[in-house]
Amino acid sequence: MVKVLIILSYLLMEGFDAFVDHLNDTYIDRELPENVRDVYDEEEYEKWRDYQNESGNLDLISDVIKIVLTLVFLISNAYSWLFRVVPSPNVFVQYLCVVAILTLITEMIEIPFDYYDTFVIEEKYGLNKSTKGTFVLDMIKGYFIAVAILYAFIMLIMVIFETFGNLAFIVATAAMVIIMLLIALIIVPLMRIYNKFTPLEEGELRDKLTDLCTKYGMKIRKIVVKDASRRTTTSNAFCSGFGKMKTISLDDNLVNNYDSDEIVAVFAHEFGHARFRHVIKSLPFSIVSMLITFLGLYVVLNIPALYTPFGFEGINYFFAQMLLSLMIWPLSKFFSAVTNYISRKHEYQADAFAAGEGYGDHLISALKRLSKEALSDINPHPLKVLLDYSHPTLSQRIEAINKIDQIQVKKQR
């Protein structure tokens, strides 16, 4: 009975996600808000709709295959079977082998879809700049990184839970917070696995970026340009580092295709996140959600009746974290929705900072271009935004920026 309920929970989770996606798909025919109607002309809007339909259909096929495979594994007790047949001189090697095998299976399923998405759909709509060699190398890197991350997470949880007992969920939360902060600190070195970074040349753009940071007492460790154009036509920027020392990264697509004021506007938004310490302000809720999640894992690990129906005779940390995700998905959706709500508030604040620095119009111009180049959905369903969007919609951001600009004009009068 437990097994049936868990499988039904998994189907409900996937069904709910499919329902939200369906609602979003039906929203595609709604009239666009007035302030974003100039993003696409009629021909470009039809192109966007075609792109959304083709990529959505591909995702649907991929999702169905993954769901069927997961159901087969759950019903047949394939997960426990793998742990029995994999050579195990010790538990650490056994977990590594199983994680590597399951990740490989997932990758083999995803590769054909990723290839078609990259070299057929994105190529057709002018989004792809990647070569087949880069694609293969990224897949190989992605596989080993995925194995390393999942294996490290499981081993960390196993060591903590077997060492600290009843306090394990508190220690695990503290460990994850430290890891999150470290990753935020060293994001550029980590991204060098996939990208090359070169120093931004001297000139007007560098001077404007430096002046903005100096104005607020921030010191620049370095300003680098990421070779995003090797893979895509889209653009981005970010500001990393804690305290007063910052590293600025700009995509080469941004540097090469946008004017200096638009680039500074985009950076000013990212700098706003750093100035208002949004990473730190997001931590309290993240800590609470992680505490509850690890407490749930503690409960699962201590109820054998939850995993014995799937063929496991004792505690298995890999399957326990999988079971937890299947059982508490409504709570996970709630955590995600709150996290995204906090993130959207922070995005508004970062936009307001850029507008307050006099870059409101330039930011709007850049956001429209960025959305157009990425063929972004500029009118998603409100439920999709509520659950899945870490950023406000383009229309919402433009409306908020315009209000800031109007307030500034009134103050100047």
Domain ranges across the chain: 2-192+276-412, 197-262
Q: Measure the CA–CA gap between 254 and 233, rounded to whole angstroms.
A: 9
Per-residue pLDDT averaged across 50-72, rounded? Answer: 92
What's the whole-model pTM score?
0.88
pLDDT at 49 (0 to 100): 86
Confidence of residue 407 (pLDDT cuts 50, 70, 90): low
Per-residue pLDDT averaged across 187-211, rounded? Answer: 85
Nearest alpha carbon to residue 156 among 301, 318, 25, 48: 318
Confidence of residue 169 (pLDDT cuts 50, 70, 90): very high
pLDDT tens digit sequence for 131-154: 899 899 999 999 999 999 999 999
Nearest alpha carbon to residue 22 among 384, 394, 267, 321: 384
* CA dist list (Å): 19 to 58, 85, 243, 360, 389: 17, 38, 43, 36, 16
* CA dist list (Å): 214 to 184, 209, 211, 218, 283: 22, 9, 5, 5, 27
pLDDT at 195 (0 to 100): 83
**What SS3 class is residue 221?**
strand
Q: In what order do the strands lie in the sheet with 219-226?
A: 197-199, 219-226, 245-251, 237-240
Q: Measure the CA–CA gap between 104 and 81, rounded to whole angstroms.
A: 17
CATH for 197-262 (3.30.2010.10, 3.90.440.10, 3.40.50.300, 3.30.450.40): 3.30.2010.10
pLDDT tens digit sequence for 200-259: 888 899 899 889 888 888 888 888 899 888 888 888 887 776 666 778 888 888 888 899
pLDDT tens digit sequence for 316-340: 999 999 999 998 999 999 999 999 9
Confidence of residue 43 (pLDDT cuts 50, 70, 90): confident
pLDDT at 130 (0 to 100): 85
User: Considering the chain, what is the average pLDDT of its residues?
Assistant: 89
Tokens, residue 45: 């809007």
Confidence of residue 410 (pLDDT cuts 50, 70, 90): low
What percentage of the chain exceeds 70 in pLDDT?
96
pLDDT tens digit sequence for 249-290: 888 888 888 999 999 999 999 889 888 989 889 989 999 999
Q: Dump strand ranges (E) for 174-330.
A: 197-199, 219-226, 237-240, 245-251
Confidence of residue 384 (pLDDT cuts 50, 70, 90): very high
Confidence of residue 107 (pLDDT cuts 50, 70, 90): very high
pLDDT surpassing 70 at residue 411: no
pLDDT tens digit sequence for 108-118: 999 999 999 99
Per DSSP, 126 falls in state T
Confidence of residue 74 (pLDDT cuts 50, 70, 90): very high
pLDDT surpassing 80 at residue 189: no
